[in-house]
C-alpha cells in the first residue's frame, strides 16, 4: 500500500506516500529500504523500488521524489560520516505490478550497485552486481562491509569502488546455497566494537576485535513450547533463513535476530537464545466460519498448519486432526453442525485441490475419494470455493478451476457427502476459466440460499440459478464498469451479499438476478450473522478497517481500527463477537457489547467419546506394549520424553548402514472398519506405517498400508480408514524402517471408523 506514519506511538496510522513496497518475495531477507539522516532526524529516505527513491524533510509527513525508478532494491544506506553520500543495492528482476492485490501486469526492474554523493540528486553506477546488504564499520567510518551472493562478506575502504574478501572463519561454499543452509548469509549487525552475522541454519559468527577473523559462537537454544521447537533427529527450526541481527548498543551483550518463524533475543553475546514471539505470532488466515447453532464454536483455516477449532468463541483455538497443511475454505452444514467440510491440498503445498470431511464438528477429518472429478496437473484443476445445502448435510457444491466444460472446470455437485461428484455447470460460460486457482486469492465464489438458489461469481461477472434443475444465467449488473472485482459472495437468510473491491457491497433479494448497492465503499470480504441476519460485517478494501450494520445494510458504523494487518481480513460472527482472521497476524475477536468480553463456552457435544482400541495409544508409557524386530543392524525402542505432538511418544532408533527392522504393537478389534491416525517424523532412509492382519493359524492374510513417512524430520499427521478381512483373528500396528535414522511416533489412535463417506 505504501508508507504509513504514526504520531501516537503506533495506535493509529495515516498513509503519507502511496507506493508499491516489496513484501513476501525473493530477497525479502536482505537489507533496509528506509534510513534516517544522521545530520537531521526529520530527514528520512525511502527506496521502495518501482517508484524510486524519496526524501522527506518533515519526519515522513510529505515526500519528494529523487528518481531511480524501476529498481528492485535490496538495501539502501546513508553514510553517517557524510550524510550526502548514499548507497543503493538492487537486483534485476521481473516483478508483477500489483495494486490492492488485484492483478496488474509485469514490469522489468533494473539492478546494480549505485552511489550518490549529493543526497540523491544524481547517482553513479559502481557495478552491475550489488551486495545483498551493507553495514558501516562502527569503529572506522570509511570502511563498509557487505554480503555478496549470500556466500561471502567483503569490505571496501574507497566508498564501494573496490572490495576485498573478509570471510575468514565463516562456513563457505562455492555452490549456490539455499536460504536455509549454513553457508548462506543475509544478515549483518554491529555493536560498538564488533560485527556479527547469522547463517541460514542459525549459526552466528562474531568479529571481535573487528580486524580479526570471524569466530563461531557456540549457543544453546531455548525455544519454549511451540510447534517448531527443536528436538534431536528433527529438522532444526531455530534460526532458519536468519534475515536480520540487531545489537542493543546500551547493552552490547543483548542481541535480537529474526528468522523464518519468529524473533529471538540473547543477553550473553549469543550463548543462549530465548524465543520472543508472544503477541506477534505471524500466521496467515484463509478463513473463519461461524457455527450458527453454537456461539462458542468457530472454525478457522490457516496457511501452513491446517484447520483449527475454537470452543470459546474465538478466544483460543486447538488444531484439528488433519493431514493437510493449508486449509483454504471451511463449510459447516447448516442442518448438522457436526458435519464439516474443508478444502486443502491433496498432499502438502500452497494450493487447494481436495475435499476433506468431518463427522465430529471439525475435530478430525477424512480425505474424500473425489470420485469422478477431473484429475491431472494439480495446477489446472484447483478448488477454492465450497457451499453446503441447508436441508441436506450431504449435498455439497465446489468450484473447480480450469476451462468450464463437462468433466472439466466449473461447479461440481455431490449428494453423498463429498465422496463422488457430478458436473453441474450448465449455463456457465464454456471454454474459459471461471473459478480462481490461487489459494491466496479472494473469498468463496459460490453461495447457496436456504431455498436452494445459488450464485456463482467470477472476477467481473455474476451467474445465478433458482434451483438445481435450472441452468445458470448471467445477472445484469451495472456497478463500476470495467473495474469490477468481485471478491466474495455469501448467502444469508433471505438475501445474497456480494463484495466488490472497488464498488461497494451489493445485496440481492431475488436469488441473484438483480443487485442493489447497500454500502458505497470498496469491500474485500463480508459476513452475515446466521443467528441474526440483520447483522452484517464487512472488511473494507485498501486496509480501510471494519464496518457493521445491524439493520440489514441500511446503515453502517465503523468498528475499532486498532487491529493489525487490516488488508484482506476474513470475518465471522460468534454470538456477540466478531472474529477476524488476518493475512499475517493471526486471529482476533472484537466484543460487540459489554458482555461479549466475558468467557464463552461451547455447548456440550452429543457425540460419544470413542475409546482408543490401541492401549498406550498416546505413547505416554512407550515402549510398553511394543515389540521390535531387526532383519539387519540394531533397533532400539525408547520413550520419547518430548514427544512430537502431545506429551511423551515413542522413539524408534535404527543403526547400521543397511539396517532394516520394525516396531509393532498388537491389538484386537471387534469392528471390521477402523480409523487409524497419528503423528510421526522420520530421518531414516525409508519408513512407513502399516497394519498386519493374521488368521487363527498365524498366517498373514492382509497388509494394509497406512502412511509413508517423508525423510527430513518434519512432523506429519496421518489418518486412514481400513477394513479388516473377515478371517482376521489378530492384528499388528507396525512401523517399518529401512536405513539408519530415527522415527518418532505420537498420539496413535485406532477407533471404529466414522461413516464419513458412507450412505448410512
pLDDT digits (tens, 9 = 90+) for 173-224: 888 888 888 999 989 999 999 999 999 988 999 999 999 999 999 887 665 5
Which of 54-58, 476-480, 509-513 is predicted with the least confidence, judged by mean pLDDT? 476-480
> What is the C-alpha to C-alpha distance for residues 735 and 161, in angstroms, rounded to an integer?
60
> What is the C-alpha to C-alpha distance for residues 306 and 328, in angstroms, rounded to an integer?
8
Cβ(284)–Cβ(301) under 8 Å?
Answer: no
Q: Report the percent of the chain where pLDDT is more than 90.
A: 65
Look up residue 500 and give its three cell numbers: 466488490
Virtual torsion, Cα 608, 611, 612, 613, nearest 10 deg: -130
User: What mean pLDDT, rounded, does the chain reach?
Assistant: 89
Q: Which residues pair with 413 in a beta bridge?
A: 397, 422
pLDDT at residue 36 is higher than 90: yes
pLDDT at residue 508 is higher than 90: yes
- Residue 456's pLDDT is 97
Given 3-state DSSP classes, what are the helix, strand and coil percentages for the chain, each rounded to the nearest 5?
0, 45, 55
Q: How far apart are the first and last CA of the chain?
A: 52
Three-state secondary-structure class, residue 705: strand
> What is the C-alpha to C-alpha distance for residues 498 and 553, in angstroms, rounded to an integer?
12
Q: Which of 611, 607, 606 is nearest to 670 (CA)?
A: 611
pLDDT at residue 85 is higher than 80: yes
Query: What is the average per-residue pLDDT within 472-482?
Result: 80
Q: Which comes out higher in pLDDT, residue 171 or 710?
A: 171
> What is the C-alpha to C-alpha distance for residues 605 and 177, in angstroms, rounded to an integer?
51
> What is the C-alpha to C-alpha distance for residues 677 and 719, in angstroms, rounded to an integer?
4
pLDDT at residue 760 is higher than 50: no
Q: List the strands of the sheet with 587-591, edge to edge.
A: 570-574, 577-581, 587-591
Neighbours of 711 (CB within 10 A): 15
Q: Which of 583, 537, 531, 535 is nearest to 297 (CA)?
A: 531
Q: Which of 543, 533, 528 is nearest to 498 (CA)?
A: 528
pLDDT at residue 360 is higher than 50: yes
Distances from the Cα of 132 to the Cα of 75, 135, 147, 563, angstroms: 7, 11, 5, 33
| Strand positions, DSSP E, 19-66 | 34-36, 44-49, 52-56, 64-65
> What is the C-alpha to C-alpha distance for residues 193 and 218, in angstroms, rounded to an integer?
20
- Residue 101's pLDDT is 46
- Residue 323's pLDDT is 84
Q: What is the pLDDT of residues 596-607, one digit of tens each?
A: 888 888 887 665
Q: Which of 693, 743, 750, 744 is nearest to 720 (CA)?
A: 750
pLDDT at residue 698 is higher than 60: yes
- Residue 116's pLDDT is 97
pLDDT at residue 481 is higher than 90: no
pLDDT at residue 377 is higher than 70: no
DSSP conformation class of 601: -
Look up residue 31 and give its three cell numbers: 537489507
> What is the C-alpha to C-alpha distance for residues 530 and 753, in angstroms, rounded to an integer?
32
Neighbours of 35 (CB within 10 A): 18
- Residue 439's pLDDT is 92
Residue 427 binned pLDDT confidence (cut-offs 50, 70, 90): very high
Q: Which of 373, 384, 389, 405 is nearest to 467 (CA)?
A: 389
Q: What is the pLDDT of residues 392-417, one digit of tens each?
A: 999 999 999 999 999 999 999 999 99
Amino acid at each position: 500500500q505504501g508508507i504509513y506514519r504514526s504520531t501516537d506511538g503506533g495506535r493509529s496510522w495515516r498513509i503519507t506516500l502511496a507506493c508499491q513496497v516489496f513484501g513476501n518475495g525473493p530477497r525479502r531477507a536482505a537489507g533496509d529500504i528506509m534510513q534516517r539522516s544522521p545530520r537531521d532526524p526529520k530527514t528520512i529516505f525511502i527506496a521502495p523500488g518501482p517508484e524510486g527513491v524519496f526524501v522527506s524533510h518533515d519526519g515522513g509527513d510529505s515526500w519528494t521524489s529523487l528518481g531511480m525508478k524501476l529498481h528492485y532494491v535490496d538495501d539502501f544506506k546513508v553514510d553517517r560520516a557524510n550524510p550526502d553520500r548514499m548507497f543503493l543495492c538492487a537486483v534485476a528482476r521481473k516483478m508483477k505490478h500489483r495494486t490492492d492485490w488485484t492483478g496488474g501486469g509485469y514490469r522489468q526492474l533494473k539492478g546494480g550497485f549505485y552511489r550518490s554523493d549529493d543526497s540523491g540528486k544524481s547517482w553513479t553506477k559502481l557495478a552491475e552486481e550489488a551486495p545483498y546488504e551493507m553495514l558501516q564499520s562502527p569503529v572506522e567510518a570509511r570502511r563498509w562491509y557487505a554480503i555478496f551472493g549470500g556466500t561471502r562478506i567483503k569490505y571496501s575502504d574507497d566508498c564501494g569502488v573496490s572490495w576485498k574478501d573478509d570471510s575468514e572463519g565463516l562456513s563457505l561454499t562455492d555452490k549456490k546455497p539455499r536460504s536455509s543452509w549454513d553457508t548462506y548469509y543475509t544478515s549483518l549487525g554491529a555493536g560498538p566494537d564488533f560485527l556479527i552475522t547469522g547463517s541460514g541454519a542459525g549459526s552466528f559468527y562474531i568479529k571481535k576485535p573487528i580486524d580479526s577473523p570471524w569466530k563461531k559462537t557456540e549457543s544453546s537454544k531455548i525455544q519454549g513450547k511451540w510447534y517448531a521447537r527443536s528436538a534431536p533427529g528433527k529438522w532444526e527450526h531455530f534460526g532458519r533463513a536468519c534475515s536480520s541481527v540487531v545489537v542493543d548498543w546500551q547493552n552490547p551483550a543483548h542481541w535480537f535476530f529474526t528468522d523464518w518463524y519468529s524473533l529471538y533475543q540473547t543477553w550473553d553475546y549469543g550463548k543462549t537464545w530465548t524465543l520472543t514471539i508472544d503477541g506477534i505470532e505471524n500466521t496467515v488466515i484463509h478463513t473463519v466460519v461461524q457455527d450458527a447453532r453454537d456461539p462458542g464454536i468457530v472454525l478457522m483455516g490457516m496457511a501452513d498448519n491446517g484447520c483449527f477449532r475454537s470452543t470459546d468463541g474465538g478466544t483460543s483455538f486447538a488444531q484439528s486432526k488433519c493431514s493437510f497443511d493449508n486449509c483454504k475454505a471451511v463449510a459447516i452444514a447448516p442442518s448438522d453442525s457436526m458435519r464439516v467440510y474443508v478444502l486443502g491440498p491433496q498432499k502438502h503445498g500452497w494450493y487447494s485441490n481436495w475435499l476433506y470431511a468431518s463427522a465430529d464438528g471439525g475435530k478430525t477429518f477424512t480425505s474424500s475419494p473425489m470420485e469422478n472429478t477431473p484429475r491431472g496437473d494439480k495446477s489446472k484443476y484447483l478448488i477454492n470455493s465450497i457451499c453446503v445445502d441447508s436441508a441436506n448435510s450431504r449435498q455439497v457444491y465446489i468450484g473447480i478451476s480450469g476451462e468450464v466444460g463437462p468433466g472439466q472446470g466449473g461447479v461440481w455437485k455431490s449428494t453423498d457427502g463429498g465422496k463422488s461428484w457430478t458436473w453441474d455447470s450448465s449455463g456457465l460460460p464454456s471454454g474459459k476459466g471461471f473459478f480462481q486457482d490461487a489459494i491466496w486469492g479472494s473469498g468463496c465464489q459460490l453461495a447457496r440460499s436456504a431455498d436452494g438458489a445459488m450464485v456463482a461469481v467470477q472476477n467481473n461477472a455474476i451467474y445465478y440459478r433458482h434451483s438445481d434443475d435450472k441452468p445458470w444465467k448471467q445477472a445484469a449488473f451495472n456497478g463500476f464498469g470495467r473495474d469490477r472485482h468481485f471478491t466474495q459472495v455469501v448467502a444469508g437468510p433471505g438475501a445474497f451479499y456480494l463484495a466488490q473491491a472497488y464498488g461497494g457491497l451489493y445485496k440481492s433479494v431475488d436469488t441473484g438476478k438483480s443487485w442493489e448497492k447497500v454500502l458505497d465503499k470498496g469491500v474485500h470480504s463480508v459476513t452475515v450473522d446466521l443467528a441474526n441476519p440483520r447483522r452484517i460485517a464487512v472488511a473494507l478494501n485498501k486496509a480501510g478497517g471494519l464496518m457493521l450494520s445491524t439493520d440489514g445494510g441500511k446503515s453502517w458504523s465503523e468498528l475499532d481500527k486498532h487491529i493489525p494487518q487490516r488488508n484482506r481480513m476474513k470475518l465471522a460472527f460468534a454470538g456477540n463477537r466478531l472474529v477476524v482472521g488476518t493475512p499475517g497476524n493471526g486471529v482476533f475477536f472484537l466484543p460487540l457489547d459489554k458482555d461479549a468480553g466475558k468467557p464463552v463456552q461451547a455447548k456440550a457435544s452429543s457425540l460419544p467419546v470413542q475409546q482408543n482400541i490401541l492401549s498406550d495409544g498416546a505413547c505416554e508409557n512407550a515402549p510398553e506394549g511394543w515389540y521390535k524386530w531387526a532383519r539387519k543392524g540394531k533397533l532400539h525402542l525408547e520413550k520419547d520424553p518430548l514427544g512430537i505432538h502431545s506429551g511423551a511418544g515413542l522413539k524408534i532408533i535404527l543403526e547400521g548402514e543397511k539396517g532394516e527392522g520394525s516396531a509393532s504393537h498388537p491389538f484386537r478389534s471387534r469392528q471390521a472398519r477402523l480409523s487409524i491416525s497419528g503423528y510421526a517424523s522420520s530421518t531414516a532412509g525409508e519408513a512407513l506405517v502399516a497394519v498386519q492382519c493374521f488368521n487363527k493359524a498365524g498366517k498373514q492374510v492382509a497388509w494394509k498400508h497406512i502412511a509413508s513417512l517423508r525423510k527430513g524430520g518434519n512432523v506429519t499427521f496421518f489418518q486412514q480408514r481400513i477394513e479388516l478381512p473377515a478371517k482376521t483373528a489378530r492384528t499388528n500396528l507396525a512401523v517399518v524402517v529401512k536405513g539408519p535414522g530415527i522415527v518418532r511416533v505420537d498420539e496413535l489412535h485406532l477407533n471404529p471408523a466414522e461413516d464419513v463417506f458412507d450412505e448410512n
